[in-house]
A = this chain, B = another copy of it.
């Protein structure tokens, strides 16, 4: 199916199309109001340091799920999520360099892999739109502009590097609202990390993002900057693990978790055990 056809399908259908390799496109707006996630798969040798890196940088790297070592199922995020097939497209990094793009991991999977799923901005963007706040890049079907900043992440082992931010131009009379709304989504980057003057965080030309597409900052709006899920990819490039697999930007893992759930733990994991 095409993206426009999949938009009207339920999560089961969307996942089946992705799993079978029939759909390899981006996931914005697919699967209903479920949590979507950034992906990083690493050998267990690097897993504890990467998990510490995420804990120390909770705004760019909010952990929503971690697999058992070698187990391709991410059971806390849904009853039947196979990370080898359930993301439309993957980037493979070798020694910190992007080496290939693949649409499944059947041949690449290893018994020492640990999967990390990290919250993404789709969740709070949805909430902004619901509150009547325009989100230009969605309305214009482009990718949000992203910039490396002069804000350092808190390092852990070999993982370090600049915080990457995304920019959205917000009408001046809604700035207080977007801060309040996004703060309610700590697993989707939370409140902005910077308001207004881009130079203060090392961004010298808003029209030339480091990733994504440029977006205008019209009169009466202010550029607002949020921590961005590209940050861990920058840290992975710096750490140079022998292998690391991420999602292709925009091509997310769609989970079974409601995007307004209090915790990212699927209810099927939390059964009463019966009488004490």
Chain B residues within 8 Å of A48, by CB = 44, 47-48, 51, 69, 114
Within 8 A of B (CB), among A249-275: 262-265, 269-275
With A44-B48, A48-B48, A276-B149 known as contacts, the answer to whether A270 contacts B186 (CB < 8 A) is no
A263 to chain B, nearest CB (A): 5
Q: A263's closest neighbor in chain B, by CB? A: B58
Instruction: Pick from B51, B57, B148, B186: contact of A262, CB below 8 A.
Output: B186
**Contact pattern, A 23-54, Cβ under 8 Å of B = 1, otherwise 0:** 00000000000000000000010011001100
Q: Which of B157, B162, B186, B200 contacts A186 (CB 8 A)?
A: B186
The answer to whether A262 touches B190 (Cβ under 8 A) is yes
Instruction: Flag if A273 contacts B162 (CB, 8 Å).
Output: yes
Q: How many residues of A contact B (CB 8 A)?
A: 47
Q: Who on chain B is nearest to A153 by CB?
A: B270
A55 at the interface (CB under 8 A from B): yes
Q: Nearest chain-B residue to A187 (Cβ)?
A: B186
The answer, yes or no, to whether A183 is at the interface (CB within 8 Å) is yes
Q: With an 8 A cutoff between CB atoms, is A156 at the interface?
A: yes
Q: How far is the CA of A76 from the CA of B58 in the complex (A)?
A: 12
Q: How far is the CA of A49 from the CA of B58 in the complex (A)?
A: 20
B residues in contact with A51, CB < 8 Å: 48, 51, 55, 66
A202 interfacial by beta-carbon distance below 8 Å: yes
Contacts of A274 in B (CB 8 A): 150
Which B residues are in CB contact (< 8 Å) with A68? 52, 156-157
A56 interface hit (Cβ, 8 Å): yes
- Residues of A bordering B, CB below 8 Å: 44, 47-48, 51-52, 55-59, 63, 65-66, 68-69, 76, 114, 148-152, 154, 156-157, 162, 183, 186, 190-191, 200-204, 262-265, 269-276
14 contacts between A and B (CB under 8 A): A44-B48, A52-B66, A55-B63, A56-B269, A152-B270, A152-B272, A154-B265, A186-B262, A190-B262, A200-B272, A201-B272, A202-B276, A203-B276, A204-B276
